[in-house]
Amino acid sequence: KLEQNAASEGARRHLERHEEALISCDQAVELRTVSPGDNRSAAVFVDPAALREALKTRAAALQLDNDHDEAVRDWSRALESARESGAAPEEQQDLQRSLMQAQQNKRVWDERRDHMATLELPANLQQLAPEKQCSWIKKQHRKLARKWHPDKYRGNSDRGARKMREVQEAKDVLYERFRC
């Protein structure tokens, strides 16, 4: 129980730094989930409220990380858990609203990705000379590609691969837009 609380608190404490929060959240959810065939004893009691809290925290961190697919999955699991355990109607409504917001964020992200934000480019990039624009894009792509490359990234390999795809897509779109 102490490990569960520590993992949850670590996730909340680091929510602004979603990188660390995602690791803490993954640990918190793992500690609260017992699946069939799990090596842990079947007598381990999993508190549905604690699992929901861990899922909610991880979903919020995933949304900050623009991983909307996983965020929607976590909000859905939290809502399902609330319904199965007979949670208060207010909590179920809050979870339903959060799920709908996550789905809306996913649609917006899919339709209108902010490629300049993905590459962490300055807001005044369009005011610079064309050569400077292209050099900024190239520099930021190189920096982020080193950070997220699946062979270099030390965290969750799926996250690293997803981020790398986003960085590559952003570079391609911006190269075309700025005619680099």
**40: pLDDT strictly greater than 80:** no
Q: How far apart are the C-alpha atoms of 102 and 111, rounded to whole Å?
A: 14
Mean pLDDT to the nearest integer, 24-45: 58
Please tell me the least confidently modeled range out of 13-22, 83-92, 109-118, 134-143: 13-22
Contact assessment for residue 148 and residue 169, using Cβ atoms and an 8 Å cutoff:
no
Please tell me the least confidently modeled range out of 8-17, 136-145, 151-160: 8-17
Contacts with 24 (C-beta within 8 Å, 6 or more apart), sequence order? 7, 8, 10, 11, 14
Residue of 144 and 1 predicted with greater confidence: 144
- Look up the pTM and report it: 0.71
